[in-house]
Amino acid sequence: MGGGDLSSLVGIVLADGREAVVKDGPDPLAEAAMLRAIRASGAPAPAVFAADARALVMERLPAQGARGADADLGRAVARLHAATGARYGWDRDYAFGPVAIRNGWSTNWAAFFAERRLACHLPHLEPSLARRVEALAAALPGRLPANPRPALLHGDLWGGNVLLDGPRVSGLIDPACYHGHAEVDLAMLSLFGQPGSSFREAYGPAEPGFAERVPIYQLWPALVHLRLFGAGYRGLVETLLTAAGA
């Protein structure tokens, strides 16, 4: 099957006739736990049939594609974010290919995001870019809420990780889950595209100051893309730093 940049997919048929997808990746057991957490929240995700250190076997969901599913996506993401953790983070680390995602637990959101989503990239950045990211990370206690509700996040929520079947969302896939400020997923969802107004109507109103925080939260996936795919994403990183005042 067609896969992403960081894993391969094989379609199979089980003895009972069910269709399934076999996926390799950096940590199939961790991904299986994330998919189960998404399903437990009431948001759609493929059922996990089996997982070990080498591969994940999951339900093959209908995905004929469609337009007009923005309202259903808003409802799905709202259900996901309604699941709340006790702290910020996740119980194990993860990775996007060679880019490590350090998690652990924290009781301070601004400190968590500064250290484990921005400052973690500093050793891998060109010095002038690193200085700007470092300055922004240092300023986050005054820019981000210290204690927003620790919502369950998808962690890599963009259009390519949303399966659509008619006017509904059949599944959220390829997660990088942790607990954090719900706006992280919302900012990511508008980085490489923009859902229609019916998404926000179904999801719920924006928190005060959301627009000012969007470039900060979008910087995390932009830095990941810069490290994974190279200098073509430097302009995006610089644009977001400027928008964030760094």
Please identify every residue annotated as catalytic: 156
Helix (H) or strand (E) holding 243: helix 234-243
> 109 φ, ψ to 5°?
-65, -45
* Residue 27: closest CA among 76, 85, 84, 90: 90
Q: For residues 238 and 246, what is the distance between their CA atoms, to the nearest angstrom? A: 9
Listed in sequence order, the residues at least 6 apart from 128 whose beta carbon sits closer than 8 Å to its beta carbon are none
Helix 210-229 with 127-139: angle, nearest 10 deg: 150
- Residue 160 exposure: Cα atoms within 13 Å on the Cβ side: 9
- How far apart are alpha carbons 157 and 19 in whole angstroms? 25
